[in-house]
Chains A and B, each alone.
Chain A
Amino acid sequence: MTYKIQIDDLVRDANEEETALIDAQHAASKARDKAEADKAKAKAALLDKLGITANEAALLLG
């Protein structure tokens, strides 16, 4: 994918090295998003198993 990068007022296409850096940042964000979604999914599954809501769980934990 070609990214457009801006340096002060100059806008140009990213070179190979710059593209790799942006790709790395995007991949890291994607991994974090997935970990977060997995955690939320596991939490929802546990609440479902216990038969309580998130608010009820929060009340139980004080």
Chain B
Amino acid sequence: MANEQTTVPLFVAAEVLTAADMNLSAGTGVPVFANTTTRDAGFGGAGEKVLAEGQLCYLSDSNIVQYYSGASWATVGPASAGALTFIKSQTIGTTVTSVNVTSAFSATYDRYLITLSGGTCTTNRALNMTLGSTTTGYYSSYMYVSYASSTVVGNASSNASSFLDAGVVTSNGLTGRIELNNPFNAVRTEFINFGAGLATNQQPIIGGGFVDNATSYTDFTLTMASTGTMTGGTIRVYGYANS
């Protein structure tokens, strides 16, 4: 890589600065190293700058910017390194029955988190989830305990037209967290859902399942499980960094 260097030079009085010297020390602004090994070797040697607090660098192998605190190197960014990365959000329209979110999944991530919040709904019920244009082969089950009862209730669905109860909808808002594993990769997609209804006649639910195919998906749709519409609220999509 053209910007990568192996040393951070220290110039002395009356030294002739060549074009190469200037290109190395000033051309890149922040010194660029192939990895942490070449970074550490680039300071403190003969004719090299002594590493001191405030020094910046860029590492090509991990695509991050770091600063030296005086004791160790710390990462400035991107903030996504090893974390959950926001991909996109979708505001839900007025009195809609379903919402299709496109360009949500890609080769960048294997696992995704989808959250539902805000808004309102005309029926206290649930949202089903479909992937791409697939309308069969969804296997899912969930359990819940109503706020008004201590009885655990289970529900299951085999080879259905959608994942069951991916989110909970009430007049007080939409709730739910959905995890999808491998929606973009050409393998079976795993589905995990959990959420708590925001109405006295509702309940927290937890469930999971998979879709019985090896299709690669880039989009998903949330649909009212029964008659009724939703208005407002936000669907957010995040990706778990693969490394």
Contacts and interface: CB of A to CB of B under 8 A. Distances in A.
A22 B98 CA distance: 9
A11 B229 CA distance: 13
B98 A6 contact: yes
A36 B126 CA distance: 15
Interface in A1-45: 1, 3-9, 11, 14, 21-22, 24-26, 28-30, 32-33, 36
Give the bracket for the number of chain A residues in contact with chain B.
20 to 34
A-B residue pairs, 3 tightest by C-beta: A3-B97, A11-B93, A29-B225
A8 B102 contact: yes
A25 B96 contact: no
Given A5-B100, A6-B100, A29-B226, A21 B135 contact: yes
A36 B142 CA distance: 13
A8 B93 CA distance: 9
B89 to A, nearest CB: 11
A33 B226 CA distance: 10
Contacts of B95: 4
A28 B93 contact: no
A32 B155 CA distance: 8
A33 B125 CA distance: 11
B98 A5 contact: yes
A30 B93 CA distance: 25
A24 B161 contact: yes
A25 to B, nearest CB: 5
A17 B89 CA distance: 27
Contacts of B96: 4-6, 11
B223 A25 contact: yes
A4 B94 CA distance: 9
B162 interface: yes
Contacts of B157: 28, 32
